[in-house]
Amino acid sequence: MLANLSIQNYALIDDVKVTFSNGFTTITGETGAGKSILLGGLSLVLGKRADLSSLKNTEQKCVIEAEFDISKYDLKPFFAENDLDYEDRTILRREILPSGKSRAFVNDTPVTLDVLKALGDQLVDVHSQHQTLRLTENDFQLKVVDALADNSGNLKNYKTYLGQYRKASKELQDLENFQSNADKEHDYNSFLLKELEDAQLKEGMQEELEAEYEQLSNVEEIMVQLAAGYQLLNDEQLGILGRLADLKRAFQNLADFGPAYASLNDRIQSVLIETDDIASELEQLKDSVEANPERLETVNGQLQQLYDLQKKHQAASVGELINIREELSQKVEAVANIESKITKKKVEVSQLADQVEERAKNIRHARNTVIPKLKSMLQENLYALGMPSASFKIEVNPSETFKPNGKDDLVFLFSANKGSEYGELKKVASGGELSRIMLTIKSILATYEQLPTMMFDEIDTGVSGEISNRMGEIMQQMSQTMQVFSITHLPQVASKGQHQFKVFKQESGEGTSTHMKELSGDERVQELAEMLGGKSLSESALAHARQLLQ
C-alpha cells in the first residue's frame, strides 16, 4: 500500500508531504485546485515520462518520493531479477533536474525508467480514461475470466509446455533451414574434407618435415662438416682424442699426490669419455648421411601441400587445419544424419503440441464453467449502478493458434438497452458506461486476486444520486481487502471514505501553490456541505453532510 507521498517543486506544488492509511481514502477539492497535479506527481514516481514543464521553479530540481508497504506482495523475485535490495518498506524516488535529465531510484539504487514503471505497475493501478480503454482489450477480458476461473495454475502449466513446444518448433525450423542450405554446400564440404583427410594431418608434422627438408637439401654441406669433425677428433698426429689420451696418461701419475690432482684427473677422464662418444656418433652420422633426391622431392611435395592448405583455409598452423577438418567432418556428418534428426524432431514437436493442446482445453473448460457466473455478477452490479438492462454475451471459442494465455478467442459483447443489438464494448458503450463496467470488474477482481493499490480518478463523472452512492459503496467494499483511493467531486462518494483529503490552492506574494491536507470532524462536514450546496453553507447542506458521514 502507499504509505507516504512527498512532492517537491512539481507544477503548482512547492512541497507537499502526505501520509496515507489502508482502507478507502477520498480526495476532494474544487475544479482547478490541483487534484490532477497530485495524480500527475504520483504517475511520475511510478514511471511516467517527464519534461521540464514539470518543474515549478526551473532552477531547482523536482523530487517525488513514494513509500510503499509491499510486505503482502510477492515482489522478492522482481527485486532479485533486477538486482535491487528488497525492503518491506520500499521507497521509489524520481528526480527531474533543471537540465531536463531525469533520474529514478528504488531504495536509493539507480534504476532505468522501464524498471521503475514495471515495479510501479505492480504497486498502483491508476484508473483513468486511458486505463478504461483496457476494458475493450481481449487480453484484459480474458484476465478477468481467468481470475474468476482460478486459472493461474492451469496457465502456469500451459506456459511451461508452450515454452518447450516453441523451443522445439524453432529447433525443427532451424534443422529444415539447415537442410535446404546444406544440400548446396554438402558436395563442396565433402571435397574440402577429403583434401584434409588425404593430407594425414598430425600435430608437429610441419616442424618435422621442415627439419627433414633442411637436412636433405643441405646433405653435401652436412657430409663435409661431419667428415671434417671426425678428422679433427681422430687424426693420428693431431687428433683431439689422441691428445686427450696423452693428457690423461700425464695426469694419471699425479692422481696419488693429493685431492686436487685426483679431481683434475677424474675431469680429464670424463672429457675423454664424452669426446670419444662424440667421435663414435660423428662416425655413425657420416656413414649414414647420403643424398636422397627422391625423398627430398617427397618431403617438398608434402610441405607444399601443407602450405597450400593453410593458404586456402586461412590457417596459421597444422593445428588450425585439424580443427577445420573436424568442423567439416561434423557438417558433412550432420547433413548425412539430417533426415533422421528432422523426423525425430517432428515427433517431439507433435507430442509437445498435444501436451499444450491438452492444457489449453483445461483452461477453456474452466473459462466456460465460470462465464455464466461472471455474466450474472456483472449484470447484477450494473443494475445497482443505474444500468438495469445491461447484458453481456460472453463466449470462448477455440483459436487456430496457441497464444500466451491459451488457445481461445473471447467474444465479449455488450448491450446497454433491452432489445438492442450486442456489440463490442468500444463501439456500443459510452464513456460513463465503460467507467461503471470497469468499476464493477475491478470490484469482482478484488475478491479473487491480490490487486495493487487502486486509484480511481473521477470514475463517478456523469453520475449522481443513488448511483454515485452505490459506486462509493463498491469502492468501500473493495477497500476491505486492499487500499483504494478515489479522486471525486461527488459528496456521496467522498463521504464513504475512511479518510478524506482536500486539495486546495493558496495565493501569496510569491504566486499560487497547491496544498493537501487530511480533513477530520467538522472539516469533513464543511467540505461535504460545500460540495452539496456551494460556499454559502446552509443548515440543510450541513445536516445532509452529517447524514452522509453517518
Quick one: average pLDDT of 288-312?
85
Long-range residue pairs from 313-321, CB within 8 A, at least 24 positions apart, any chain: 313/192, 317/206, 318/201, 318/202, 318/203, 318/204, 318/205, 318/206, 319/203, 321/196, 321/199, 321/201
Residue-level pLDDT at 244: 84
Within 8 A by CB and 6+ apart from 73, the residues are 122, 123, 450, 452
Place of cell 588425404: 198
Confidence of residue 5 (pLDDT cuts 50, 70, 90): very high
Quick one: average pLDDT of 26-31?
89
Quick one: average pLDDT of 512-530?
90
Within 8 A by CB and 6+ apart from 408, the residues are 142, 360, 363, 364, 367, 396, 397, 398, 399
Mean pLDDT of the chain: 88
Rounded distance between C-alpha atoms, residue 36 and residue 400, angstroms: 44
**What are the C-alpha distances in Å from 336 to residues 59, 256, 341, 348, 432?**
72, 83, 10, 20, 67
Rounded distance between C-alpha atoms, residue 240 and residue 321, angstroms: 50
Checking if the pLDDT of 115 tops 80, the result is yes
- Exposed, middle or buried, 66 (CB in 10 Å: 0-12/13-18/19+)? buried
Residue type, 155: L
Compute the C-alpha angle 401/156/80, nearest 5°: 125
Long-range residue pairs from 216-222, CB within 8 A, at least 24 positions apart, any chain: 216/292, 216/295, 216/296, 216/299, 217/296, 219/289, 219/290, 219/291, 219/292, 220/291, 222/289
Confidence of residue 131 (pLDDT cuts 50, 70, 90): low
Greater model confidence, 376 or 49? 376
Residue type, 344: K
Determine which of 201-215, 229-243, 360-374, 525-539 has the lowest per-residue pLDDT on average.
229-243
Confidence of residue 407 (pLDDT cuts 50, 70, 90): very high
Delimiting residues of CATH 3.40.50.300 domain(s) in the chain: 1-123+452-519
Residue type, 381: N
Rounded distance between C-alpha atoms, residue 86 and residue 107, angstroms: 8
Instruction: List, for residues 59-84, the tens digit of each pLDDT value.
Output: 889 999 999 999 988 899 999 999 99
Confidence of residue 130 (pLDDT cuts 50, 70, 90): low
Q: For residue 407, what is its C-alpha cell?
A: 488457445
Q: For residue 41, what is its C-alpha cell?
A: 506527481
Quick one: average pLDDT of 442-464?
84
Residue-level pLDDT at 349: 96
Determine which of 153-157, 231-235, 417-421 has the lowest per-residue pLDDT on average.
231-235
Instruction: List, for residues 202-236, the tens digit of each pLDDT value.
Output: 888 888 888 878 878 888 888 888 888 878 888 76
Residue-level pLDDT at 133: 66
Nearest to 240 by CA among 266, 261, 264, 271: 271
Counting every residue written for the chain, the total comes to 550
Nearest to 455 by CA among 483, 474, 476, 431: 483
Residue-level pLDDT at 99: 86
Instruction: List, for residues 454-504, the tens digit of each pLDDT value.
Output: 999 888 777 777 888 899 999 999 999 899 999 998 999 999 999 999 999
Residue 455 near residue 488, CB atoms below 8 Å = no
What are the backbone dihedrals phi and psi of residue 187, each rounded to the nearest 5 degrees, phi first? -60, -45
Rounded distance between C-alpha atoms, residue 11 and residue 20, angstroms: 22
Rounded distance between C-alpha atoms, residue 71 and residue 54, angstroms: 32
- Alpha helices by DSSP H, listed for 46-151, are 76-81, 113-121, 129-132, 138-149
Rounded distance between C-alpha atoms, residue 490 and residue 468, angstroms: 7
Calculate the CA 132 to chain-centre distance. 28
Q: 268-300: buried (b, 16+ CB within 10 Å) or exposed (e) per residue? A: beeebeebbeebeebbeebeebeeeeeebeebe
Checking if the pLDDT of 389 tops 70, the result is yes
Candidate CATH numbers 3.40.630.30, 3.40.50.300, 3.40.50.720, 3.40.50.2000; the one for domain 1-123+452-519:
3.40.50.300
Phi-psi region of 32 (alpha: psi -120 to 50; beta: other; left: phi over 0): left
Checking if the pLDDT of 132 tops 70, the result is no
Residue-level pLDDT at 246: 80
Rounded distance between C-alpha atoms, residue 256 and residue 247, angstroms: 16
Q: 413-425: buried (b, 16+ CB within 10 Å) or exposed (e) per residue? A: bbbbeeeeeeeeb
3-state secondary structure 195-206: HHHHCCCCCCHH
For residue 371, how many other CB atoms are within 10 A of its CB? Answer: 19
Determine which of 241-245, 358-362, 481-485, 516-520 has the lowest per-residue pLDDT on average.
241-245
**What are the C-alpha distances in Å from 5 to residues 46, 108, 418?**
12, 16, 46
Sheet of 406-415, strands arranged across = 391-403, 406-415, 423-424
Rounded distance between C-alpha atoms, residue 357 and residue 161, angstroms: 9
Long-range residue pairs from 253-260, CB within 8 A, at least 24 positions apart, any chain: none
Quick one: average pLDDT of 300-322?
89
